[in-house]
Amino acid sequence: MNDLSALQKNIEDIRAEIPDSVEILAAVKTRNIETVKAAFDAGIRKFGHNYVQEAEAMVHGVDLNAEWHMIGHLQRNKAKQAVSLFDMIETVDSLRLAKELEKRCAQIEKTMPVLVEVNSGREENKTGVLPENAASLAEFLNSCRYLKLEGLMTMGPLMGDPELSRPYFQKTRQIFREISDMRLEKVAMKTLSMGMSNSYRIAVEEGATQVRLGTILFGPRQP
């Protein structure tokens, strides 16, 4: 089996085991354009990238009717480039970044769907708002003209046993529900992005509506 047929089978197998309502976002950091095209041909329509500059080369290198999501930490000095490039930013992790994104979107009059990234594991070396600060950031986003909050994203601590991720997914789902119950006028809480290649099954069990998959689709990252 060649790499492309293996990719197609991987996508088919995962699609068959998770609900139709759960979207697959292919994480394509370090992947090449041919691989992205093959994933698109196999039915993937959402692609995520961690770095603005690498993503720009890839997005401009393919002509696909696909969505491109920012799934890595976004520095404020990259906000102008990011809002021109991506269809969604999943890693809004601070008020300062939100204000910068709103300013940059206003300059080009672009509405940008966003997710609030929650540091559900309270890890000092990870980005994301602490759980208790997610609601206040949601309230600010509700006041924005160009940023449209559509849900939450969490990484959760990276652990060998995926079952250990469950409490962090449960906590993020709880926050998701709490913000939904706030009934903010401009907020439509519809995306709960949780789970990666080693933990997506647990994430789906805990209510994820989107899983971010890389290695399990494409194989180990290229150096």
Predicted local distance difference test score (pLDDT) of residue 128: 96
Question: Are the C-beta atoms of residues 195 and 211 closer than 8 Å to each other?
Answer: yes
Q: In the structure, what pLDDT confidence band is assigned to residue 5 with cuts at 50, 70 and 90? A: confident
Q: In the structure, what pLDDT confidence band is assigned to residue 160 with cuts at 50, 70 and 90? A: confident
- pLDDT digits 0-9 by tens, 119-145: 999 999 899 999 999 999 999 999 999
Q: Is the pLDDT of residue 1 over 50?
A: no
- pLDDT digits 0-9 by tens, 173-191: 999 999 999 999 999 999 9
**Helix-, strand-, coil-residue percentages of the chain, each rounded to 5:** 45, 20, 35
- The residue that leads in pLDDT, 159 or 16, is 16
Q: In the structure, what pLDDT confidence band is assigned to residue 94 with cuts at 50, 70 and 90? A: very high
Return the percentage of the chain with pLDDT > 90, whole number.
Answer: 89
- pLDDT digits 0-9 by tens, 33-82: 999 999 999 999 999 999 999 999 999 888 899 999 999 999 999 999 99
Question: Are the C-beta atoms of residues 212 and 29 closer than 8 Å to each other?
Answer: no
Q: Give 154's strand partners.
A: 118
Predicted local distance difference test score (pLDDT) of residue 44: 96
Q: Quote the radius of gyration of the chain (alpha carbons, Å).
A: 17
- By the 10 Å C-beta count (0-12 exposed, 13-18 middle, 19+ buried), 63 is classed as exposed
Nearest of 60, 85, 57, 63 to residue 71 by alpha carbon: 85
Q: Which CATH number fits domain 3-218: 3.40.50.720, 3.60.21.10, 3.65.10.10, 3.20.20.10?
A: 3.20.20.10
Q: In the structure, what pLDDT confidence band is assigned to residue 2 with cuts at 50, 70 and 90? A: low
Alpha carbon distance 196, 144 (integer Å) = 30
Give every CB contact of residue 160 below 8 A, 6+ residues apart in sequence.
198
Query: So where are the chain's domains?
Result: 3-218
